[in-house]
Amino acid sequence: MRSFEYVAPVSTHEALELRGTYLAGGTTLVDLMKLEVMTPGHVVDITRLPLRGIRPGPEGLRIGALELMEDVAHHDAIYPVIRQALLQSASPQLRNMATIGGNLLQRTRCGFFRDVATPCNKRTPGTGCPAQEGGNRSHAVLGTSSSCVATHPSDLAVALVALDASVRLATPTGERTVDLADLYALPGDTPHLEHQMRPGELITEVIVPPLPWARRSGYVKVRDRRSYEFALTSAAVALDLAGGTVRDARIAAGGVGTVPWRLPEVEAALRGAPATVEAFEAAAELSARGARPLTDNAFKIPLLQRTIVRALVEATR
């Protein structure tokens, strides 16, 4: 790890003026600094900022960016899909350190990105993407480009994108609110630009709009091992049922996209359909449209479809 300057402001205004690399729980940043994947010269510890609280209200559920994952997961106001995504995200030890805002902005787990001895367009633009030809079993099949196929790592982001959540950003000139789905950037030719946040901006809270029927929701995560592992595929679903018919649905996928991947075509196919396995399977087939599998990860396409069906079936129980 290289040397750096460390400061710990006590106000959001002061943190914005300092304009460094923000440190909260440190469960991603510190690892990457040790590997010298990230080498910030100025680290701003924001853990003393007043960015906490879990507040249900008529405008939805507001979650402070510095709330801990473990605390949010066990709050009574949290929808099941969010709770399950959080509890499957990491070990209890990490969940007791990691923050909501930090989880949403965590960097990819791509092995090439984390190995400074290999080229990586996301880490060093223009150097290439070794995952295109090899070692790509865990990589993305949706939203990829010739420059990057790294998978977005956050389980929480998948659940929040499914629920149309937004984030409030503090900026040097005030505040702005951005839909979480719009916050993330597809890699295109600039995979090092991972989101739409501007220099000096800071996530202050997450806003989940009111959706009463999201009480019938869930998150299914398929991984190589059950303990502390990132998704091969995952599905966040919420269903509005009337009798045996689907009135509405929210679905997003993880483990397969370069960003949390919303599935509007699958949602549309479910509206008005019977809540049966056959209808779920027919809708899930649409989830792979536009997929570009690599040499070792084509299995993710049928696995994603089965994951969505399983999540839908579990949400009807």
| Domains recognised in the chain with CATH numbers | 1-47 (3.30.43.10), 212-315 (3.30.390.50)
**Complete edge-to-edge strand list for the sheet that includes strand 54-57:** 54-57, 60-64, 202-208, 166-171, 174-179
Distance spanning both ends of the chain, measured CA to CA: 50
Consecutive H or E run containing 14: helix 12-18
**Start-end of H helices in 105-172:** 111-114, 155-162
User: Span 214-219, mean pLDDT?
Assistant: 96
Read off φ and ψ for residue 6, nearest 5 degrees: -120, 130
Q: Check residue 124 and give its pLDDT.
A: 95
> Would the pLDDT of 228 be above 80?
no
Tokens of 58: 């008529």
The backbone region for 161, taken as left when phi is positive above 0, alpha when psi lies in -120 to 50, beta otherwise, is alpha
Other Cβ atoms closer than 10 A to 240: 17
**Residues 154 and 236: beta-carbon distance below 8 Å:** no
> Would the pLDDT of 1 be above 90?
no
In this prediction, residue 59 has a pLDDT band, given cuts at 50, 70 and 90, of confident
Mean pLDDT over all residues of the chain? 96
Consecutive H or E run containing 264: helix 264-270
**Residues 139 and 131: beta-carbon distance below 8 Å:** yes
Q: How would you label 271-301 residue by residue, b for 16+ Cβ within 10 Å and e otherwise?
A: eebebeeebbeebbbbbbeebebbeebeebb
**Residues 259 and 295: beta-carbon distance below 8 Å:** no
Other Cβ atoms closer than 10 A to 260: 27
CA–CA distances in Å: residue 230 to residues 20, 178, 202, 289: 28, 26, 26, 23
Report the sign of the C-alpha dihedral through residues 246, 252, 253, 257, in that order.
positive
Q: Check residue 290 and give its pLDDT.
A: 93
> Would the pLDDT of 163 be above 90?
yes
User: Span 181-193, mean pLDDT?
Assistant: 97
Report the sign of the C-alpha dihedral through residues 158, 161, 166, 172, in that order.
positive
Report the sign of the C-alpha dihedral through residues 301, 306, 312, 315, in that order.
negative
Q: Check residue 226 and give its pLDDT.
A: 80
In the chain, the percentage of residues whose pLDDT exceeds 90 is 92
Dist CA 138 CA 299 (whole Å): 10
Q: Going by C-beta distance under 8 Å and a sequence separation of 6 or more, which residues neighbour residue 117? A: none
